[in-house]
Copies of this chain bind each other. A is one copy, B any other.
Amino acid sequence: MTHYAVGLMSGTSLDGVDAALVEISGVNLETKVRLIDFLTIPFLPKMKKQIEKSLSIEESSNALLCSLNVELGEVFGEAVLEICKKNNLDSSTLLFVASHGQTIFHMPNGLDGFVPSTLQLGESSVIAERTKTTVISDFRYRDMAVGGQGAPIVPYSELVLYQDAKVTRILQNIGGIGNATILPSGGETDTLAFDTGPGNMIIDELCRHFYQVEYDDEGNFARQGMVNEEVLESLMAHPYIQKKAPKTTGREDFGKEYTANLLKKYQLSANDWIRTATMFTAKSIAETIAPFAKGKTELIIGGGGSYNKVLIVMLKELLPEMTVKTQEDLGYSSEAKEAIAMAILGNQTYHRLPSNVPSATGAFREVILGKVTYYS
């Protein structure tokens, strides 16, 4: 039987919340999912500021996180209502809403004095009340409880959506950070997935710094700059880039502070900086994924970075052995990819079935991800 469901994703780029309305049926690798509609509700500047504060060790507090959890829940609920209304659907008829939540902290390997843990906010109880339907949330914790990194979380959905009988497919998502999933051909499930390093995070930070805009639209700034090889080399020396997969990173490694330090260290023109950072993203992706080409191999790029034309050209040049496509080329919406993934994971949980991929996260077994908040 076919049901409607909504997947919600609120990524590290802090743009807002993505909602994907899907038609879904079946379970496991036989899940059939069709995107009906997709929309993004941008965070209001005040909300964005609250989130940024909550991401800082110094500025965050119990009261802030407590309150933000509910405030985000309201925004997430609103996104569901809006996409349902747009499609003349009563949200209470959804089978479920699956919400990733806003990542506030992710330390899969711990940190001095702190144990491995992760924290996503966006209260499911609030979403359930606003939408009058079952909500599935908090997908990452359960994988970490079985020794996984809690990331990447989307590979199961990628197996469902993209695996091909004959072609090795590498899915590269370029959001705030970059993450890749290697899908072997022919129905094998031991996909490998990992964060490649920075996605748009440094580029966006530079655009804000130099131009007070949020991102490099189509790569237009990068197009006018030159790569500074010395700086690039020093960026590529970052310990994360060298580290072996499966590995996971976050805002902590390549965020605001990291970029601020770079700006102090090197004096480049605005566009040279942006092009160098764009090449850093491209090269860190290319070097990490190149060894996984096997037979006919396609690289499929999704996320906000897939709209950066300079970045795509760089990747094509760096990876001549692969066919480089964007998700749009395959008929999928780049933007919607992660929100659709949430719906697929939520569908598994709804049916009390696992959806982590141990070969991707390092978990020692498959588990049912997330928590279920029942509306009725």
Contacts and interface: CB of A to CB of B under 8 A. Distances in A.
A240 interface: no
A372 B134 CA distance: 11
Interface stretch (A61-69, A195-203, A268-276, A286-294): A61-69
B62 A65 contact: yes
Contacts of A110: 67
Contacts of A83: none
Contacts of A118: 66
A71 to B, nearest CB: 6
B117 A142 contact: no
A210 B95 CA distance: 58
* Interface range for A: 35 or more
A181 interface: no
Contact of A128 (B56, B116, B145): B145
Contact of A114 (B64, B111, B128, B349): B64
A173 interface: no
A129 B367 contact: yes
A216 interface: no
A75 to B, nearest CB: 12
Contact of A57 (B61, B71, B107): B61
Contacts of A355: none
A110 B73 CA distance: 15
A107 B144 contact: no
A125 B144 contact: yes
Contacts of A107: 63, 66-67
Copies in the complex: 2
Contacts of A58: 61
A158 interface: no
A67 B117 contact: yes
A129 B354 CA distance: 14
A144 B129 CA distance: 10
A111 B63 contact: yes
Interface string A93-118: 00000000000110100110111111
A18 interface: no
Given A117-B69, A126-B141, A60 B57 contact: no
A375 interface: yes
Contacts of A111: 63, 67
A373 B123 contact: no
A368 interface: yes
Nearest to A67: B114
B123 A141 contact: yes
A278 interface: no
A211 interface: no
Nearest to A71: B115
A371 interface: yes
Interface in A125-139: 125-126, 128-129, 137-138
19 contacts: A56-B62, A63-B105, A63-B107, A63-B111, A66-B104, A66-B114, A66-B117, A67-B114, A70-B115, A70-B144, A73-B145, A117-B123, A124-B371, A126-B141, A126-B145, A128-B142, A129-B367, A372-B372, A372-B373
The 4 A-B pairs with the shortest beta carbon distances in the complex, nearest first, are A67-B114, A125-B141, A129-B145, A371-B371
Given A57-B61, A70-B141, 5 more contacts: A65-B119, A66-B107, A66-B117, A128-B145, A368-B374
